[in-house]
A and B are shown apart, each in its own frame.
Chain A
Amino acid sequence: MPGEELELIRSSLLDFLTRELSGREQEFEKIGIPRDFVEKLAQQGFLAAAIPTELGGSGLDRPAYFTILMNIARFSGSAALRVMLLNGVIYRVLKKMGKEEIVRDIISGASSISIDTSLFTKFWAAGKEKFFVDPQAPMSIFMLDGQIVLARVSLKGSREFRPLGFRGLKFGDPQFEVSERVAAIKDSGKFVDSLMAEISGDIAAVAIGMSEAALEKAMEYSRVRKAFGVTLSSFQPLAFPLSIMSVQLKTLREFLLSDSGRSAADMIGIRELAADFAVVSSKQALQTHGGYGYIEDFGVEKFYRDSLALNSLFGEKIHSMTLLAKEYYGEEAGNL
Chain B
Amino acid sequence: MDFNFEEKYEKYRATVRDFANREFTRELIETCDSGEKYPEELRIKTFNAGIMDFTDPWKVLIGIEEMCSVDESLGIAATTPYFGAEVLMLFGSDYLKEKYLSKVSQGKAIMGLAVTEPGGGSDVAGLATTATPADSGYMLNGSKMFITNGTIANYFVLLARTSVEEKKHHGLSCFLVDSSWEGFKSSKIKGKMGVRATDTAELQFSNVKIPKENLIGEEGKGFYYIMTFFNISRIYVAAQGLGVARGAINRAMEIVKAKGQAYSSQESVQFAISEMATRLEAARLLTYKAATFLFNFNPNPTLTSMAKYYAAETAVYCTEKALEITGTDGLNSQLERFLRDAKILEIWEGTSEIEKLVVARNLLKEGSVN
Interface residues of A (CB under 8 A from B): 117-118, 120-121, 123-129, 131, 161-164, 171, 225-229, 235, 237-238, 279, 283, 286-287, 290-291, 293-297, 301, 304-305, 308-309, 311-313, 315-318, 321, 336
Closest 9 CB pairs of A and B: A296-B191, A125-B258, A123-B263, A164-B336, A123-B259, A125-B329, A301-B193, A316-B327, A227-B123
Chain A positions within 8 Å of B265 at CB level: 336
Chain B positions within 8 Å of A126 at CB level: 258-260
Indicate which residue in B34, B122, B191, B330 contacts A295 across the interface (CB closer than 8 Å). B191
Q: List 5 A-B contacts (CB under 8 A).
A: A304-B343, A305-B340, A309-B331, A312-B323, A313-B328
Q: Do B329 and A290 touch (CB < 8 A)?
A: no
Complex formed: what's the CA distance from A308 to B260 in Å? Answer: 24
Q: Do B259 and A124 touch (CB < 8 A)?
A: yes
Q: Do B331 and A313 touch (CB < 8 A)?
A: yes
Chain B positions within 8 Å of A313 at CB level: 328, 331
Which of chain B's residues has its CB closest to A164's CB? B336
Looking at chain B's contact residues, is the secondary structure mostly helix, strand, loop, or mixed?
A: helix
Known: A129-B332, A227-B123. A121 touches B327 (CB 8 A): yes
Q: Which of B261-278 contact A (CB under 8 A)?
A: 262-263, 265-269
Q: Do A227 and B331 touch (CB < 8 A)?
A: no
Q: Do A294 and B193 touch (CB < 8 A)?
A: yes
Closest-CB distance, B167 to chain A (whole angstroms):
13
Closest-CB distance, A314 to chain B (whole angstroms):
9
Q: Do B329 and A291 touch (CB < 8 A)?
A: no
Complex formed: what's the CA distance from A171 to B347 in Å? Answer: 30
B352 an interface residue at 8 Å Cβ cutoff?
yes
Q: Which of B78-132 contact A (CB under 8 A)?
A: 116, 119, 121-123, 126
Q: Do B352 and A287 touch (CB < 8 A)?
A: yes
Q: Do A311 and B262 touch (CB < 8 A)?
A: no
Complex formed: what's the CA distance from A305 to B342 in Å? Answer: 12
Complex formed: what's the CA distance from A243 to B339 in Å? Answer: 26
Chain B positions within 8 Å of A162 at CB level: 34
Q: Do A125 and B259 touch (CB < 8 A)?
A: yes
Complex formed: what's the CA distance from A238 to B316 in Å? Answer: 19
1/0 contact string of B185-198 vs chain A (CB within 8 Å): 00001011110000
Known: A125-B258, A297-B191, A312-B324. A237 touches B356 (CB 8 A): yes
Chain A positions within 8 Å of B258 at CB level: 125-128
B320 an interface residue at 8 Å Cβ cutoff?
yes
Q: Do A124 and B189 touch (CB < 8 A)?
A: no
B344 an interface residue at 8 Å Cβ cutoff?
yes
Chain B positions within 8 Å of A309 at CB level: 331
Known: A131-B332, A162-B34, A336-B267. A308 touches B343 (CB 8 A): no
Q: Do B121 and A291 touch (CB < 8 A)?
A: yes
Q: Do A296 and B323 touch (CB < 8 A)?
A: no
Indicate which residue in B191, B260, B346 contacts A123 across the interface (CB closer than 8 Å). B260
Q: Do A294 and B121 touch (CB < 8 A)?
A: no
Known: A123-B259, A235-B353. A287 touches B347 (CB 8 A): yes
